[in-house]
Amino acid sequence: MNSQNGRAVLRSGGAASEPSGQVLTVLLTSVAYFMVTLDALVVVTALPSIHRSLGGGIGTLQWTISAYTIVFGAGILTAAALGDRLGRRRVYVVGLALFTMASAACALAPNAEVLVACRAVQGMGAAIVMPLGLTLLTTAFPPERRGAVVGIWGGIAGLAVASGPLIGGAITQGLNWHWIFWVNVPIGVVAAFGARLRLEESWGPRARLDIPALVLVSGGVGVLIWGLVQGGQQGWGSDQNLTGLILGALLLLGFVLWEARAPEPMIPLGLFRQPTFAAAVGTQFLMASAIFSAAFLTSQFFQFALGDSPLATGLRFLSWTATPLLIAPLAGALSDKIGARALIVPGLAMQGIGFAWIVHLAGGTSSYGSYVVPFIVAGVGISMALPCVTVAGLNAVPPPILGKAAGTLNTVQQFGAAFGVAIVTAVFNSKGSLASPPAVTDGYRPALLVAAGLSVVGAVVALGIRRSAHEEAPVSTSSRERGALDLVPALDVD
């Protein structure tokens, strides 16, 4: 084995170069990806049951989602770097084991505080599984076949998004909320042993770990979100609120200053000199903020205000969450011909219209059927935008730095989800509560209107995405990547 260039591959188990090994690689990585993606949403329809069992207000419920997404987002780039240094399969198996053990701990959590802590550990496992699973998958196939297998892998994520609220509702109603976590345990055990025995080991460039950046960005995001939640619960001028907002902003400023000088930055700030990439990152952040916050709010509204069961709530969501399975592949193919912006801008505007329509319906006594059309409008809209934002961002940078660009987009998506849920939680707390159905409705309507606004702002930011990017200043990054942008004088951003 020659590891001098940091890219050695060790053959082990069933070689993925064989057809049977390749099929197994797709199966093992896809099942694990489905599991971690599902857990971002499966808890949504179970939150009211968790509230009744463990207590706590909507701020506590918010942290069961945000703790997962913050750690997930903060750990993606670090996990990828660890995999490159220590062995991708080895670290991937550790991530699966960590996720599985944290799932069992979530199921056994005696109170809300322990549940939130275990969800954070789950997020750490997910941060390892997601990027390394994709890397192990793509290295098992030649370049001419990678598009197809990554399409399968991405389709698994769409299926998880579509079925997450429904599966969570069905399990919660048929068994209890503990089982939304218990079901991960046998899947995780099989996936971990299968990966250890059958996947190939590989390494990547031995980049330095940017630990200070990780601490600054995750701490800054976490403290900012805590400040937002405290503002909704105790008043926007409270000491806790002001302390959280100021300290969080200072930590994020420290992150920016550190990354500008770091020899191996976690997120190369020079990437943001590319206007299209910067616009794609901003759009990704706002899009994730809107979609996750709306899902979080609407589950509470259907169950606490309208009295729906968890299963009925999951079924209501299908007209919204199932649309990516049909629309997203078509949108991705169409973006190659007309450009990403032509789909992202109207798509996010449609989502905003759908959410505003639901806000209007929530003020009366509308039946289930009344919500189907606005859900479809919002679902088709987000399905148009979802694949195109990522494609636009990645096409704005040259191949040598695609890995860091993809990691940045994934990180921003998770942070956007956490911020969105925190913002709407603060608005909900300032206008309503979980005390009664009318109080839930009073908080839900203005909070969902904020999610609609985030969608519209995302559409405006997406106007900065261009179909072709002209030559721009090079990205400041590591010595191996320095000058990479000079390789491509003009880039299509489709």
Position 234 pLDDT exceeds 70: no
Measured from the Cβ of residue 439, the count of other Cβ atoms closer than 10 Å reads 16
Question: Contact 324/158 with Cβ under 8 angstroms?
Answer: yes
Please give the share of the chain, as a percent, with pLDDT higher than 90: 15
Confidence band, pLDDT 50/70/90 cuts, at residue 226 = confident
pLDDT of residue 482: 40
Domain 267-494: which CATH number of 1.20.1250.20, 1.20.120.80, 3.90.79.10, 3.40.640.10: 1.20.1250.20
Topology agreement, domain 15-210 and domain 267-494: yes
List the domain boundaries for the chain.
Answer: 15-210, 267-494
Superfamily of 15-210 according to CATH: MFS general substrate transporter like domains (1.20.1250.20)
How far, in Å, are 56, 60, 309, 319, 433 from residue 306 at the CA level? 20, 21, 9, 18, 14
Q: Which of 9-23, 77-91, 403-417, 475-489 is least confident?
A: 475-489
217 alpha carbon, distance to own chain's centre: 16
**Torsion sign over Cα 174, 176, 181, 185:** negative
pLDDT of residue 473: 41
- Bridge-based pairing of strands 468-469 and 491-492 is antiparallel
pLDDT of residue 492: 39
Q: What is the largest CA-CA distance in the chain?
A: 69
Instruction: Determine the average pLDDT of the residues in 275-302.
Output: 88
pLDDT of residue 480: 44
Model pLDDT for residues 361-402, shown as the tens digit of each residue? 988 777 777 888 999 999 889 888 887 887 788 777 776 666
Position 352 pLDDT exceeds 50: yes
What is the pTM (predicted TM-score) of this model? 0.75
Q: What is the dihedral of CA 358, 362, 363, 368, to 10 degrees?
A: 110
Model pLDDT for residues 177-209, shown as the tens digit of each residue? 888 889 889 988 988 888 888 777 777 666 677
Confidence band, pLDDT 50/70/90 cuts, at residue 350 = very high
Confidence band, pLDDT 50/70/90 cuts, at residue 231 = low
- Report which of 278, 323, 247, 293 is spatially closest to residue 415, judged by C-alpha positions: 293
pLDDT of residue 236: 65
Q: What is the DSSP letter of 301?
A: I
Measured from the Cβ of residue 365, the count of other Cβ atoms closer than 10 Å reads 8
Which position has the higher pLDDT, 493 or 116?
A: 116
Helix ranges (H only) for 340-476 are 341-362, 368-395, 402-431, 437-462
Give the whole-angstrom CA distance, residue 378 versus residue 347. Answer: 8
